[in-house]
Amino acid sequence: MSDTQTPTRSDAAEADVDARAAEGLAGLDTVENAAATPDVDQPWAELGLKSDEYATIREIIGRRPTIAELAMYSVMWSEHCSYKSSKVHFALWAENTTDEMREKLLVGIGENAGVVDIGEGWAVTFKVESHNHPSYVEPYQGAATGVGGIVRDIMSMGARPIAVMDSLRFGNLYHPDTQRVLPGVVSGVGGYGNCLGLPNIGGEVVFDDCYQGNPLVNALCVGAMRVEDIHLAKASGAGNKVILFGAKTGGDGIGGVSVLASETFSDGPTATSRRPAVQVGDPFAEKVLIECCLDLYAAHVVDGIQDLGGAGLSCATSELASNGDGGMRVELDLVPLRDASLQPHEILMSESQERMMAVVEPVRLEQFLAITDRWDVEATVIGEVTEGDNLVITWHGDVIVDVPPRSVAHDGPTYHRPLERPAYLDALVADGPDALARPGSGEEIGSQLLTMLGSANLCDRSWVTDQYDRYVMGNTALSQPDDAGVVRVDETTGLGVALATDCNSRFAKLDPYAGAQLALSEAYRNVATAGAAPLAVTDCLNFGSPEDPGVMWQFREAIRGIAEGCRELGIPVTGGNVSFYNQTGDIAIHPTPVIGVLGVMADVARRTGSGFRTDGSHVYLLGATRDELGGSEWAHVIHKHLGGAPPTVDLAAEQALGAVLVAAADAGVLESAHDLSDGGLAIALAEAVMRHGVGVTVDGLDRVGEGLDAFTALFSESVARVLVSVPAGQAGAFEALVGEVPCVRIGATGGRDLEVADQFTVSIAELQTAHRFTLPAVFDA
């Protein structure tokens, strides 16, 4: 229960304080003590700071920092929180965002999550973030708290979370450590999201040897609110109260952002050495916290709000104060604790989950506390906004922190890291796929198709996705294995959004500029394939060490590709995440710029699924096909080859194709639509027939791409292409909508086989046998 006195301790917090009172304050490193002892050795290096960064901190505050101040700067100036190696490149977002792109953008980069206007008074907020290193060390909790953290980001904008997605990447499927990591990650994603009652509507599961020591766990959440209900992270108004509410603070996650997420693993992390830096989640506590926050918003008692995730109280206090119009004073000894032995600096660094911080006007304090009491959420007033300029934190009355909050939260170091195009690229690009042996007969093409369908990156994902609840809340209109997830926002009108995340890191390895644009174009296409008009972008940029000039060149090229690509497509980047140091020793992951695209549709009842549904429908291929096999799934699976140039980017073609798909969905003339990406037309056809058990006869393969043989027409990965089926009675109406987009009729649905005339026939049963059992054979063995 919360006390209404101000400032106050909860009963539990009072007990915590009493338990520690006997320890006394001897040896406490206060600001006064720091000023009087300038030459004390401090553990700045152990906390992840560089010598010049430590010197800068001393210069900013005019003395040596206290241990509590040092802790705050160390976590907030970490790569994970400060973006010190990446933010110099963020100007590319602003340079490439036009006024027209900003029209629907209500909140952009810099807040907890971006917000876009989707019409009819509704706004949606969405964001994707990484929890990579924690998920390798402790797979279940690392993944679970990754979901919990991104959900709280969405909550803090004033929205109700309505769906989650996950983009996962692991090492070799058959490696013993993959068999340790993947089940825990999947269980963590599903366990936390399922307990929250949030549908998991899509994502990716990718395997590649480059992720063996550094799996990627990127979590996305989307939330909905009325436009007028947007909340921001700021502490304004002298005298307003600062309230910490939610779970108690424990010792989990200390140093997570500075020690775990902002350095490389020298030889691969070990569970025993790294687990204390991994947070521990409680999804049931977070579910209650969600409902409590929504009640607080509805009562209009919150002036500013911030979730506590990476860097914990250090982040929440400094960011709220920095974004406000004054200072802040916090009594740290009032913080409710799970562990009474925690020292002040540990309390500031703790990343315990399911916590929020609110700024509340005094006249609304009683109402705020009444709502938290009703939800049985512990809430404690720990401070107030002041007229001063500094963030001041005390411990039993002694000042242990007195710093300019902006210097902690926003004005950290900025590095102009050297950039250099990696020397390996010339040889890699020169080693194209032309010399690879291609199948010599239709029968061999069919055999290779079956091999690819059972491969790690193309096999059925049901073993993973069946652990997620896709339909809880009753508003999911599409989910795995369709191309995009679709969720209803307004139950009255059917207004909804579609989301897709994509990235082919092999393409980004060959050309990070083109690879980033190819990820953007695929996610854009997947959203349009569902029938939604693409509206906005979030990204999660996963790279190796920024101290490697080659990695920084990859990063800069990817940023440039996304920024310029978004400008051409006319959709803004709303925010996202940068994750560096994804490497073990000198071995970095492939550059992996995961792109999430959000689209809007007036009525989700008009969404388009990916599989053939009825016999007798016409099957069309939209888009141009070229001989493009560099970095392809065929080269990867059949020949274990990576080289050459990735497919040609054509964003104008993507935009034109997207417009056709949205118009066709609105007109109700499409039975199905499925994008062509990994594995090309052959895989798209196989997936389309397996989806609902309806076969297809392809008799127009000779019309797919001028001068292409059957193999290339089937396995090329040219972009801006979609496979659609159209009821026979709607063929004329559909063809009238196509306009200048290349369109060829290649066959008709029917039967129970995938038949490619003059090449091969494979039954749906054979396709399903090859496709379904790869993951169960590994993880259920």
Nearest to 698 by CA among 710, 687, 708: 710
- Residue pair 261/138 in contact by the 8 Å Cβ criterion: no
- Return the structure tokens found at 74: 């160390």
The token pair at 580 is 């560096």
DSSP string, 607-676: ---SS--STT-EEEEES------TT-HHHHHHH----SPPPPP-HHHHHHHHHHHHHHHHHT--SEEEE-
Q: For residue 23, what are the CA distances in angstroms to 17, 29, 67, 396, 597?
A: 10, 15, 18, 12, 53
Q: Which residues pair with 249 in a beta bridge?
A: 337
Residues 6+ apart with CB under 8 A from 47: 70, 71, 74, 255, 258, 259
Q: Catalytic residue at 80?
A: yes
Selection from 335, 385, 339 nearest residue 362 by Cα: 385
DSSP letter for 356, please: E
Longest CA–CA span in the chain (Å) reads 88
R_g over Cα of the chain: 27
Token match 């925690």: residue? 342
Catalytic annotation, pick one of 89, 131, 345, 636: 131
**What type of residue sits at position 388?**
G
Residue matched to tokens 């979609």: 722
Return all residues near 247 (Cβ < 8 A) that are at least 6 apart.
282, 285, 338, 352, 353, 354, 355, 378
Query: What is residue 265's three-state secondary structure?
Result: strand
Identify the residue whose tokens are 């042996």: 437
Could you confirm whether 131 is annotated as catalytic? yes
Q: How far is CA 401 from the centre of its chain?
A: 33
Nearest of 138, 146, 129 to residue 184 by alpha carbon: 138
Q: Residue 606: CA atoms inside 13 Å, Cβ hemisphere, count?
A: 22
Which one-letter amino acid corresponds to residue 398?
D
Residues in the chain: 781
Amino acid at 201: I
CA-CA distances (angstroms) from residue 507 to 437, 564, 678?
A: 21, 18, 11
The answer to whether the beta carbons of residues 684 and 698 sit under 8 Å apart is: no
3-state secondary structure of 423: coil
Q: How far apart are CA 576 and CA 540, in angstroms?
A: 6
Helices 512-529 and 549-569: angle between axes, nearest 10 degrees? 40
Burial of 640 from C-beta contacts in 10 A (0-12 / 13-18 / 19+) = exposed
DSSP H helices, 282-354, are: 283-298, 312-323, 344-349
Q: Of 80, 231, 641, 771, which one is the catalytic site residue?
A: 80
- Helix 680-692 to helix 764-772 angle, to the nearest 10 degrees? 100
Using CA atoms, how far apart are residues 55 and 44, in angstroms rounded to an integer?
Answer: 10
The catalytic site residues sit at 80, 131
